[in-house]
Amino acid sequence: MDKSKLLYLITLEAMGCISKKDSSELLKSMQSEKKFPWKEMGEYQNLAALLSMVVNQESPAKNLKDLILKEIEKIEKSKLELEIKSDFSLEQKSNVATSKEIQTEINNIPDDKLEQDDSKKNELKIVDHSSEFEEVKAKLFKIKDHQKKTSEPGYQLSEEDIEVIPFVKSEKQKKSGNKLLSKRTAIAASLAFMVIVLSILYFLYFFNDDIEEQKKIATKETEMLISKSRIVPKEQEPVLILRNTEQLEPQNDQPDKLKLQEERNKPEVQPELIEQIKENKSQKPDLPPPEAPDFIEAPLVIEGTEDNSEVNVDHLTTSIPKEQLPPKEEIVVNKEPAYFVAVEEMPEPIGGISGILKKIVYPELAKRAGIEGKVLVLAYVDESGNVTKAEVIKGIGLGCDEAAINAILQTKFKPGLQRGKPVKVQVTIPVTFRL
Amino acid sequence: MQKSNGADSFVSINPLTDGELLSNAADRDKLAFEQLYARYSTILYSLIIRIVSDKETSEKILVEVFLILWRRIEDFERENLFTSLILLARNKALDFLKRRRENTKQPEYDEDYERFKILPNLSKEIKPVKLAEALKVKYEIGEMVKGLTDAQRYVLSLFYFEGLNETEISQKLKIPLLTVRSKLQVATDILLDKTRMLVAKNG
């Protein structure tokens, strides 16, 4: 390539915008040309940098520095975590073939623990849990031979259990501020994460297999869940619990699960009540249609607890369609806990918030009424960056809420990343309406 | 060396050079990193906001620029942080602008993309420019740019601040591609000559 052309490409590159074709040509000659004008290139680049001095100087907001320092801390933290976790990923790989067994085996641990349940032991349990990991590993290798394990309802039952519980526990641990933020906690957390991933996989596998059968099993499961947990406070009104079991009939075990999860933390055991529940279930045809009271009842119960799962609970209860659920819908509902609330790298709208604002059509009605304000929208972003669902958390009405939802549904996101992999995340997006 | 230039004075508070701060920061010294931020945040932010003209986004981009500095601190040359950082911020802002402007499929922003398209590909033989020096000649550079013809200045700013490539500029201004080329070339050559003189004068 002659020198003047080369110099021109260098100029283009230094001044900002070079087409892809020119850029690769320049790169090629940088590697191959013996007499590449490095000196001139340096001069052009310095010139380009110096030209930036022309713009009006303006300081960024003061809090930006803290933000950056915080982000840096996060980066450093995740680096450390990665180092610890790399051990586990190796384990996981070697055991892929027996993933089912891993799962059932691991599931047994918390179940056993739950037998001697005591809410105050929650923190201790996590430690036990992690210390048993080694044992479990040893067991796993033995189990490799017994690959013909049947998939009795009991197994899925424990799977369902663990899907919820490890999260709650680890959250609690964090909350209680105990100083076990050492390897042990990290191990326990990663174990929990592994289990969740596995159980979700298993879950999906099962649903694909036979939805009808799964339905039957699901009802059995929840029955089992109740009898297994056997933990209902004496003081609690039986009505409340009965209502929740009614919910089982329309294949709607989500709030029920959550309820159970809360009950687990309560110490008292009352086997009689379960008998009652079971009896009640057999009378189901006589009972009035359950929908309405359920949806009022479930959130009420939730409000009473100070659980960290509150965010999840919130979107679960609100997201269940009010009408009778066809089985397919139920699958969607069941998958929802897979939406993370916080991940290492949160999803970002491509084009930024301002990109969303551009898509908004200011509703005529709101314009005329002079309505301004902020609409908070909860968006569920999937792995590919699409918004699968959006709902208003706080609205201002007069069509603005719908306009905000529409704009967000049309927006493509950069998916949220957890350990470098795209995951489902729910994000709250403020949409400001200003006339 | 330190005159009564406002920006100059804060540089003089800290006797460490950029290179020293950079090596300290590479050893995970957060204080050194904070000092680098204090030195460069204003210049970089001003440039970014000139390009994307939106405060919120500019702040986001500035954060990302400094995070790139932290993550890839080994890739930065000790002796030429000024040019590296400014070109990095410029590339990052222009990349954002392009992604926002064009609805067509843009290359995925991954490690390699950041390494080859966002990080400036600095020349092997580049004369180091110090921030303090640059601040000193700020006025002269402004004068230099003013000395260009309107057309030259406009074409240059379309490249530099709008991130348009030559074809896009010729389409936008409805002028032949060759004209765009000559305008850019003449403008940069004039500027280059003048900076050479400026550097010679300042030693």
Chosen domain end from B68, B93, B128: B128
Name the band, by pLDDT with cuts 50, 70 and 90, for residue B134. confident
* Same domain, yes or no: B84 and B7: yes
Residues of B in contact with A27 (CB under 8 A): 116, 121
pLDDT for A317: 41
* Mean pLDDT for the stretch of residues B171-200: 89
Residues 61-90 of B with CB under 8 A from A: 62-63, 66-67, 70-71, 82-83, 86-87, 90
Q: Helix A20-32 crosses helix A3-15 at what angle (to 10 degrees)?
A: 120
* Same domain, yes or no: B3 and B82: yes
Confidence check: pLDDT of B13 > 60: no
Confidence check: pLDDT of A122 > 90: no
A385 compared with A201, residue with greater pLDDT = A385
* Same domain, yes or no: B99 and B148: no
Confidence check: pLDDT of B25 > 60: yes
Q: Is residue A99 within 8 Å of A198, Cβ to Cβ?
A: yes
Nearest to B66 among A18, A57, A68 (CB): A68
Number of structural domains in chain B: 2
Confidence check: pLDDT of A413 > 80: yes
Nearest to B87 among A45, A53, A352 (CB): A45
Chosen domain end from B128, B151, B182: B128
pLDDT digits (tens, 9 = 90+) for A151-165: 444 444 444 444 444
Domain with CATH 3.30.2420.10 in chain A: 348-433
* Mean pLDDT for the stretch of residues A81-105: 55
pLDDT for A354: 78
DSSP state of A176: T
Give the residue from chain A lying closest to B134, CA to CA: A50
pLDDT digits (tens, 9 = 90+) for B54-109: 899 999 999 999 999 988 888 888 888 899 999 999 999 998 888 888 766 777 88
* Same domain, yes or no: B55 and B24: yes
**By C-alpha distance, which of A318, A264, A330, A328 is closest to A294?**
A318
Structural domain boundaries, residue B96: 1-128
pLDDT for B195: 87
* Same domain, yes or no: B5 and B97: yes
Residues 142-201 of B with CB under 8 A from A: 142, 145, 156, 159-161, 163-168, 181, 184-185, 188, 191-192, 195-196
Token look-up 């590909």 returns B121
Q: Give the pTM.
A: 0.46
Give the residue from chain A lying closest to B87, CA to CA: A49
pLDDT digits (tens, 9 = 90+) for A25-56: 888 888 888 888 888 888 899 899 998 888 88
Confidence check: pLDDT of A171 > 60: no
pLDDT for B124: 81
pLDDT digits (tens, 9 = 90+) for B76-85: 888 888 999 9
* Same domain, yes or no: B96 and B189: no
Give the span between the Cα atoms of A80 and A93, in whole angstroms.
21
A1 compared with A162, residue with greater pLDDT = A1
pLDDT for B112: 80
Confidence check: pLDDT of B126 > 80: yes
pLDDT for B86: 93
**By C-alpha distance, which of B80, B50, B81, B64 is closest to B163?**
B50
* Same domain, yes or no: B33 and B50: yes
Token look-up 């906690």 returns A185
* Same domain, yes or no: B124 and B177: no
A145 compared with A37, residue with greater pLDDT = A37
Q: Exposed/middle/buried for B72, CB within 10 Å: 0-12, 13-18, 19+?
A: middle
We report the CATH number of the domain holding residue B87 as 1.10.1740.10
**Strand A421-423 to A348-349 pairing:** unpaired
Give the span between the Cα atoms of A218 and B36, in whole angstroms.
59
Query: A205: helix, coil or strand?
Result: helix
A36 compared with A92, residue with greater pLDDT = A36
pLDDT for B116: 79
Query: A395: helix, coil or strand?
Result: coil
pLDDT for A314: 42
Nearest to B184 among A11, A19, A57 (CB): A11
Give the residue from chain B lying closest to A67, CA to CA: B63
* Same domain, yes or no: B194 and B120: no
Tokens representing A210 are 């036979």
Percent share of chain A, pLDDT over 90: 0
pLDDT for A219: 52
* Same domain, yes or no: B147 and B77: no
The third-level CATH classification (topology) of the domain covering A348-433 is TolA/TonB C-terminal domain (3.30.2420)
pLDDT for B61: 93
pLDDT digits (tens, 9 = 90+) for A345-402: 888 888 777 777 777 878 777 777 777 788 888 888 888 888 888 888 888 877 888 8
Name the band, by pLDDT with cuts 50, 70 and 90, for residue A259. very low
Nearest to A355 among B100, B120, B122 (CB): B100
Average pLDDT, chain A: 63
Average pLDDT, chain B: 84
Q: Exposed/middle/buried for A291, CB within 10 Å: 0-12, 13-18, 19+?
A: middle
Q: What is the 3-state secondary structure (H, E, C) of A298-366?
A: HHHHHHHCCCCCHHHHHHHHHHCCCCCCCHHHHHHHHHHHHCECCCCECCEECCHHHHHHHHCCCCHHH
pLDDT digits (tens, 9 = 90+) for A298-316: 333 333 334 444 444 444 4
Q: Which of A61-70, A197-206, A346-355 has the highest mean pLDDT?
A: A61-70
Residues of A in contact with B28 (CB under 8 A): 76
* Same domain, yes or no: B155 and B112: no
Give the residue from chain B lying closest to A61, CA to CA: B59
Name the band, by pLDDT with cuts 50, 70 and 90, for residue A140. low
* Same domain, yes or no: B76 and B120: yes
Chosen domain end from B128, B162, B186: B128
CA R_g for chain A:
28
pLDDT for A290: 43
Q: Is residue A108 within 8 Å of A154, Cβ to Cβ?
A: no
We report the CATH number of the domain holding residue B172 as 1.10.10.10
Confidence check: pLDDT of B156 > 50: yes
